[in-house]
Copies of this chain bind each other. A is one copy, B any other.
């Protein structure tokens, strides 16, 4: 019984919790809490961990740092977006180990003047991300409400490791030894297709961020200055913004890749370039370093659909593909000649010193400028 304009400070903590829980009901119903587990309401919840271990990761989103309530482009961040992204990026970390999300908890910090509807939409965003991204067994296992100057959402996700064991950034010793000698194939998987314009691949979240951070008036001026054929359409723009605000990690593919024996894996939170270098350092050694190379044909294919959006931001589409973060795809290694797991594609190589694979160029660790220098 809250009026349309109610803010957080108008309600007792219990009232706000009740409204939040109503929005979480689809993923916190009794059926999802088997015997021996405990739903939220006690001091702690108890989640199933059938394999005798549990994967755990935490990540926070802060207003002003990780998102703006109103972006220079004029877009307002909805509670739904923040809930979705906070859940998605944590589910992604669990996914990157090959684990299946089993639950998440959240500590919400809210200014007193936050509209109650914004907060219930945030809870709805948690629920939507869990359901739409396919983390059907993930329970919202409780949380904490606090007051602060800015919205801050800390989420911890838990997961069941796969039967085959978790996949780490460093391969098992035997595979690693082979990779140090022969190199490795770099593979990538994007998230499930959204309802919008095509499938979001690497770079789309960064393209969306670049749009959001550009002043609305400037965007309109730039659009007017572009040749109509080079001007992005409304669906392209919405697709990029949605990739940034509501990323889509491929939650079905992490456990599947673990089952099909992928050698190493991580999620792409900081860009394909930087994260490929992390995988290279995890497998390589100071004596036997490995260098990442990107497949030129793949890069051209991944960059092409970003061309018009990049033009509007005065950036190169390849920069978004290689240096853009927050898409939460999966980046992995398979041995040379080994099968690429379903849903993944080859995007490059790790090579021992002195080897230069045909059709590839060096993959820069950070942004496009550095890439130019390396090339």
Decide if the interface of chain A is mainly helix, strand, loop or mixed: strand
Residue among A60, A141, A166 facing the most chain B CB atoms (10 A cut-off): A60
- Determine the distance from Cα of A55 to Cα of B156 in the docked complex, in whole angstroms: 13
Q: Which of A159-191 contact B (CB under 8 A)?
A: 159, 161, 165-166, 168-169
Interface string of A48-65 (1 = CB under 8 A from B): 111011111111101011
- Determine the distance from Cα of A157 to Cα of B56 in the docked complex, in whole angstroms: 10
Residue among A36, A48, A55 facing the most chain B CB atoms (10 A cut-off): A55
Q: Which of A114-157 contact B (CB under 8 A)?
A: 141-144, 146-150, 152, 154, 156-157
- Determine the distance from Cα of A62 to Cα of B169 in the docked complex, in whole angstroms: 33
- Determine the distance from Cα of A209 to Cα of B291 in the docked complex, in whole angstroms: 56
A52–B36 touching, CB < 8 Å? yes
Q: From residue A343, how far is it (CB to closest CB) to chain B in Å?
A: 18
B149–A149 touching, CB < 8 Å? yes
Identify which of B53, B92, B149 contacts A36 (C-beta below 8 A): B53
List residues of chain B with CB within 8 A of the CB of A107: 58-60, 107, 154, 156
Q: Is A46 an interface residue (CB 8 A)?
A: yes
List residues of chain B with CB within 8 A of the CB of A45: 55-57
Q: From residue A265, how far is it (CB to closest CB) to chain B in Å?
A: 8
B60–A97 touching, CB < 8 Å? no
Q: Is A43 an interface residue (CB 8 A)?
A: yes
Closest 7 CB pairs of A and B: A154-B154, A49-B49, A44-B57, A43-B96, A156-B156, A60-B107, A58-B105
Interface residues of A (CB under 8 A from B): 36-38, 41-50, 52-60, 62, 64-66, 92-94, 96-97, 99, 103, 105-107, 109, 141-144, 146-150, 152, 154, 156-159, 161, 165-166, 168-169, 266-267
